[in-house]
Chains A and B, each alone.
Chain A
Amino acid sequence: MDATGLLTLPGRVFFHFLSYLGQLAALAGELMIALRSGVWRLKLVAQQIVAIGYGSQGVVIVTGAFTGAVFTFQSYAKFKEFGFETTVGAVVSVALCRELGPVLAGLMVAGRVGAAMAADIGTMKVTEQVDALRVMGVHPVDYLVLPRFLAMMISMPFLVAESISFGLIASYMVTSFGYDMPSAWYLTHMIDHTNMEDLSIGMIKGFVFGMIITLISCHQGLAAENGAVGVGLGTTNAVVISSLVLLIVNFFLSILLNYVFPIGTV
Chain B
Amino acid sequence: MAAPAPSPAPSSDADVFIELRGIHKSFGKQEILSGIDLTLKHGETLCIIGPSGEGKTVTMKHIIGLIRPDSGDVFVGGMHVNKLKERQMAPIRQKVSMLFQGAALFDRMTVEENVAFPLIESGVRDKAEIKRRVLEALEAVDLAEHLGKYPTALSGGMRKRTGIARAIICRNECILYDEPNSGLDPIGSDIIDQMILRMQKRFGVTSIIVTHDMRSIFKIANRVAMLYRGKIHFLGTPDEIRASPDPIVQDFINGRSDVTC
B87 engages A134 (CB within 8 Å)? no
B104 engages A138 (CB within 8 Å)? no
Nearest Cβ on chain A to B20's Cβ, whole angstroms: 18
Nearest Cβ on chain B to A42's Cβ, whole angstroms: 14
Q: Given that A33-B87, A137-B121 are known contacts, is A128 also in contact with B102, CB under 8 Å in the complex?
A: yes
Interface residue A139 (Cβ < 8 Å from any Cβ of B): yes
Interface residue A131 (Cβ < 8 Å from any Cβ of B): yes
Interface string of A126-141 (1 = CB under 8 A from B): 0111011011111100
A127 contact set on B, CB distance < 8 A: 102, 104
Interface string of A99-124 (1 = CB under 8 A from B): 00000000000000000000000011
Residue of A whose beta carbon sits closest to that of B98: A135
- The stretch of B88-96, B213-221, B248-256 that contacts the partner chain: B88-96
Nearest Cβ on chain A to B8's Cβ, whole angstroms: 24
**Which of A123, A132, A134, A136 is within 8 Å of B86, CB to CB?**
A134
CB < 8 Å A-B pair total: 50
Interface residue B117 (Cβ < 8 Å from any Cβ of A): yes
Interface string of B115-132 (1 = CB under 8 A from A): 001100110000000000
A134 engages B107 (CB within 8 Å)? no
Nearest Cβ on chain A to B160's Cβ, whole angstroms: 13
Interface string of B243-261 (1 = CB under 8 A from A): 0000000000000000000
CB-CB contacts below 8 Å: B78-110 with A: 86-87, 89-90, 93-94, 96-98, 100-102, 104-107
Please tell me the number of chain B residues within 8 Å of chain A, measured between CB atoms.
24
B105 contact set on A, CB distance < 8 A: 129, 132
Residue of B whose beta carbon sits closest to that of A130: B104
**Which of B98, B104, B122 is within 8 Å of A129, CB to CB?**
B104
**Which of A128, A129, A135, A139 is within 8 Å of B97, CB to CB?**
A135
A131 engages B66 (CB within 8 Å)? yes
**Which of B65, B87, B107, B118 is within 8 Å of A136, CB to CB?**
B118
Nearest Cβ on chain A to B121's Cβ, whole angstroms: 5
A136 engages B93 (CB within 8 Å)? yes
A137 engages B89 (CB within 8 Å)? yes
Nearest Cβ on chain B to A222's Cβ, whole angstroms: 12
Q: Given that A127-B102, A128-B102, A128-B104 are known contacts, is A135 also in contact with B94, CB under 8 Å in the complex?
A: no
Interface residue B158 (Cβ < 8 Å from any Cβ of A): no
B90 contact set on A, CB distance < 8 A: 137
B93 engages A137 (CB within 8 Å)? yes
A135 engages B86 (CB within 8 Å)? no
A33 contact set on B, CB distance < 8 A: 87
B89 engages A132 (CB within 8 Å)? no
Interface residue B199 (Cβ < 8 Å from any Cβ of A): no
Highest count of chain A CB atoms <10 Å: which of B86, B94, B96, B101: B86
Interface residue B46 (Cβ < 8 Å from any Cβ of A): no
**Which of B66, B87, B100, B102 is within 8 Å of A139, CB to CB?**
B87
Highest count of chain B CB atoms <10 Å: which of A123, A136, A138: A136
A135 contact set on B, CB distance < 8 A: 64, 66, 93, 96-98
Nearest Cβ on chain B to A117's Cβ, whole angstroms: 14
A131 contact set on B, CB distance < 8 A: 61, 66, 100, 104
Nearest Cβ on chain A to B250's Cβ, whole angstroms: 33
A129 contact set on B, CB distance < 8 A: 104-107
Residue of B whose beta carbon sits closest to that of A136: B118
**Which of A123, A124, A128, A136 is within 8 Å of B121, CB to CB?**
A136
A137 engages B86 (CB within 8 Å)? no
Interface string of A160-202 (1 = CB under 8 A from B): 0000000000000000000000000000000000000000000
Residue of B whose beta carbon sits closest to that of A128: B104
Nearest Cβ on chain A to B87's Cβ, whole angstroms: 6
Q: Give Cα A124 to B105, complex, Å.
A: 9
A132 engages B104 (CB within 8 Å)? yes
A136 contact set on B, CB distance < 8 A: 93, 97, 117-118, 121-122
Q: Give Cα A92 to B96, complex, Å.
A: 61
Residue of A whose beta carbon sits closest to that of B117: A136
Q: Give Cα A139 to B90, complex, Å.
A: 9
Q: Which residues of B contact A (CB under 8 A)?
A: 61, 64-66, 86-87, 89-90, 93-94, 96-98, 100-102, 104-107, 117-118, 121-122
Since A128-B100, A136-B121 are in contact, a sample of 13 more A-B pairs with Cβ atoms closer than 8 Å, ordered by chain A residue number, is: A33-B87, A124-B107, A127-B104, A128-B102, A131-B104, A134-B93, A135-B64, A136-B117, A137-B89, A137-B90, A137-B94, A137-B122, A139-B86
Q: Can you list 15 pairs linking A and B with CB atoms under 8 Å apart?
A: A124-B107, A128-B102, A129-B104, A129-B105, A131-B66, A132-B100, A132-B106, A134-B65, A134-B89, A135-B64, A135-B96, A135-B98, A136-B118, A136-B121, A137-B89
The 3 closest A-B pairs by CB, nearest first: A132-B104, A128-B104, A137-B93
